[in-house]
Amino acid sequence: MSGGGDLLGIATGGLQAFQQALSTTGNNIANVNTDGYSRESVNLSTQVPVATGAGFIGTGVEVTGVTRSYNQFVAEQVRSSTSANASLQTYASLAGNVSNLLGDSSAGLSPALQSFFNAVQGVASNPTDPSARQVMLSQGQTLASRFNYLNQQLGDQRKQLNGQLSDAVSQINSLAKSIAEVNQKIVNATGQAGGQPPNTLLDQRDTLLNKLSQQVSVSTVTQSDGSVNVFIGKGQPLVTEFSAGTLSYTAAPAPGMQPAVSFSSSGSSTKVPVTNNISGGNLGGMLSFWGQVLTPAQSSLDQLAASVATKFNAQHVKGMTLNGTPGGDFFSASPSVSPSITNSGGATVSAAYDPSTVSQLGASSYTLTYNGSNSWTLTPSGGKPTTLSGSGPFTVDGMNISVSGTPSANDQYSINTNASKNIGVAIQDPANIAAAAPVVAGNTSSNTGSGTLSNLAVTDPTNTALKDQVSISFTSPTQYNVTDTTTGTTLATGVTYTSGNSVSYNGWTASLQGTPAAGDNFTVGPNTSGVGDNRNALALAGLQDALTMDGGTSSFGGNYGQLVANIGTKTSQAQTNQKAQQALLQQAQSTQSSISGVNLDQEAANLVKYQQAYQAAAHVVSVANTVFQTLLSAVR
């Protein structure tokens, strides 16, 4: 072949190529704002030249393919940053809610705790004033209902989160299904196009993968046929070629318990628990918030409520009411035990908070299971089980658990220790506030020595002889006898006296000081009509600053302050990390955008370039025509 005839071929080839280039440019311009669109460009290359005696003569241009500007590495970076960012964002925002709730200067627990103890001080100053007593009662109710309110808020948070977690799981499942479907389409389309990449489908799959990594952290492996396998957690295959696995979600049944996420591979019904393996994304953020913030906050609150109630009650029952009766419980917050309906044994289990160890309460509920042969297993919700041997009573995790009757193996009892929910005020009558102490010390007016009996305190309010009249009489300045004159019992004779001696009988203790003389007599007896006595109220007020929490290192208020600081710190860390992660994400997105994004100025320039080339090619057609006409006219 030679010359002119070919020129027309070259020109039409050029026209076709530039038309395709112009369409691609137009497509780029049209998709300038489409999410996930990767800029496309036509690959132009020279056609195979014709060898002649005079050398190789070019035969024009052809389009060998349309490629998208895409970088696998950057795309993966965007996905991993998206997961990390979404996780922290969810965590920070949820933790921020709890932190604001607990730290609120008016709705938090702190002000209610203060007002209550101020009211106790009010009764201590003026134990006979009915209005001071009424204020203490209503401030006690306020404190209890503040605990109830915070418990309910945490419960609402849990309910809401259960819903959100289940949404996230179903979104992951539907994304996994879509990715499997697109995998199929990509493999088919690649085959149909003779190996040319289906750019639009590839973009679509990348968009789906990005959405998936918003929900959970994923890793991907591209197969030789163009499909992508997606893994979550510790290598659980969420998408394998054209099939998708399923995540399922079980809501947390009780406060303090963890929700469960499990995975089953495509076509399998076996559910593998993956709750602790899942990380990143919205789902990962919610799960770690649940484990690191929500559950600890709930159990700290329960611990504090149980401690306030139990410690306060323990002192309150040592007192005496305005009517002269022994003090009862001020707060009600006891744990409740319910046996399982499947129990076959005849045992009854009862539980109470242990006043001295209550601050070790570890969860909002427990399950006690009898293993047979005097062995029990106590499992805190979401915690590690403890084995108890013997027939009880057991003092464990801040509780006294006692068993009566005969249990059968596998009998189960659930113990509700959700104290922040259960707490209330147990007394209604302000007169029943035990501001006084049941016993009073005295010395006979005929005493000639300078001895005093002081610091009288009740140690065991259940002692039946507590209110007996007791006489301590000195037979010499260094020896005394102790007699219970109510029953006529001699409690001690010839006790050697040293100043500061503590004297403890019948459930009370006191100290003898000074220099008594022979014949001196001291008494401890019932406090009758002692309405002006405030000793127990002072002791109750003293509980505000007593180091009763955290192994004797902090007060009630201090313990709560630590909870607020602890959750505030977690929130603040998550916020800081989120900001850093967001910057990384933006950087990765920027890099991706600079590779794959459309620049309108560039496209405008390309438009001009290809339009001019097209015009020139059209001109070549016209030249070819002229050349052919010239040839024709020469022959004519």
Query: Restricting to residues 441-470, which ones interact with another protein according to CB under 8 A?
Result: 441-443, 445-446
Instruction: Single out the segment in contact with another protein by CB under 8 A; choices: 89-97, 225-233, 349-357, 425-433.
Output: 89-97
* Contacting residue, 46, 52, 125, 630, with another protein by CB under 8 A: 125
Element (H or E) spanning 466, and its range?
none
Would you list the DSSP string of 297-364? HHHHHHHHHHHHHHHHHHHHTTSB-TTSPBP--SEE---EEEE-TT--S--EEEEEE-TTTGGG---S
Which of 16/523 has CB closer to another protein?
A: 523
**Do the Cβ atoms of 238 and 216 come closer than 8 Å?**
no
Q: Using alpha carbons only, what angle is made at residue 366 by residues 362 and 367, rounded to the nearest 5 degrees?
A: 150
Nearer to another protein, 220 or 527 (CB): 527
Contacts with another protein in 13-72 (CB under 8 A)?
32-33, 39
Residue 113 interacts with another protein (CB under 8 A): yes or no? yes
Candidates 5-13, 257-265, 273-281, 593-601; binding stretch for another protein (CB under 8 A)? 593-601
The nearer residue to another protein, 162 or 571, going by C-beta atoms, is 571
The piece of 180-188, 294-302, 346-354, 563-571 that touches another protein (CB under 8 A) is 563-571
- Give 110-117 contacts, CB < 8 A, sequence gap 24+: 110/557, 110/560, 110/561, 112/139, 112/142, 112/143, 112/146, 113/143, 113/308, 113/544, 113/556, 113/557, 113/560, 114/557, 115/139, 115/142, 115/143, 116/140, 116/142, 116/143, 117/541, 117/543, 117/544
Considering only residues 386 to 445 of the shown chain, the ones binding another protein according to CB under 8 A are: 436, 440-443, 445
Of 265, 377, 469, 599, the one binding another protein (CB under 8 A) is 599
Contact between 115 and another protein per CB under 8 A:
yes
φ, ψ of residue 130 in degrees (nearest 5):
-60, -30
Applying the rule CB under 8 A, the residues between 522 and 541 that interact with another protein are 527-535, 538, 541
Centre a 10 Å sphere on the Cβ of residue 153 and count the other Cβ atoms it contains: 15
In the complex with another protein, which residue's Cβ is closer, 328 or 557? 557
52 three-class SS: strand
Strands 61-68 and 55-57: unpaired
Neighbouring-strand partners of residue 413: 339, 368
| Residue 486 touches another protein, criterion: CB under 8 A | no
Name the one range near another protein by CB under 8 A: 121-129, 141-149, 374-382, 616-624.
121-129
With 0-12 / 13-18 / 19 or more C-beta atoms within 10 angstroms meaning exposed / middle / buried, residue 624 is buried
- Answer yes or no whether residue 369 interacts with another protein by CB under 8 A: no
Nearer to another protein, 102 or 283 (CB): 102
Examine residue 114 and tell whether it contacts another protein (CB under 8 A): yes
* Using rule CB under 8 A, residue 565 touches another protein: yes
Q: Which of 74, 102, 135, 209 binds another protein (CB under 8 A)?
A: 102
By C-alpha distance, which of 592, 597, 567, 588 is closest to 85? Answer: 588
Find the binder of another protein among 4, 111, 197, 393 (CB under 8 A).
Answer: 111
Two tokens at 580? 């850093």
Give bridge partners of residue 228 from the DSSP assignment: 222
Residue 601 CB, nearest distance to another protein (Å)?
4
Is 564 a binding residue for another protein by CB under 8 A? The answer is yes
Instruction: Give the binding range for another protein (CB under 8 A) out of 239-247, 248-256, 276-284, 552-560.
Output: 552-560
Q: Is 173 helix (H, G, I), strand (E, B) or coil?
A: helix
Q: How far is the CB of 582 from another protein (least distance, A)?
A: 10
Asked if 593 touches another protein (CB under 8 A), the answer is: yes
| Number of residues counted as binding another protein (CB under 8 A) | 79
Task: Please count the helices (runs of H) and the strands (runs of E) in the chain.
Answer: 11, 29
- Of 111 and 393, the one with the shorter C-beta distance to another protein is 111
User: Using CB under 8 A, which of the segments 256-264, 345-353, 413-421, 521-529 binds another protein?
Assistant: 521-529
- Closer to another protein by Cβ: residue 373 or 445: 445
**Interface residue with another protein, options 16, 395, 509, 566 (CB under 8 A):** 566
Binding status of residue 4 toward another protein by CB under 8 A: no
Q: How far is the CB of 166 from another protein (least distance, A)?
A: 27
Tokens of 18: 């530039």
Over the range 154-174, which residues count as b (16 or more CB within 10 Å of their CB) and which as e? beebbeebbeebbebbebbbe
Closest CA to 212 of 78, 72, 351: 78
CB of 163: closest distance to another protein in angstroms? 24
Q: Is 337 in the site for another protein (CB under 8 A)?
A: no
DSSP one-letter code for 486: T
Overall residue count recorded for the chain in this entry: 636
Q: Which of residues 288-327 bind another protein (CB under 8 A)?
A: none
By CB under 8 A, residue 630 contacts another protein: no
| Rounded least distance, CB 333 to another protein, Å | 22
Q: Is 211 exposed, middle or buried (CB count within 10 Å of its CB: 0-12, 13-18, 19+)?
A: middle
571, 581, 588, 624: which one binds another protein (CB under 8 A): 571
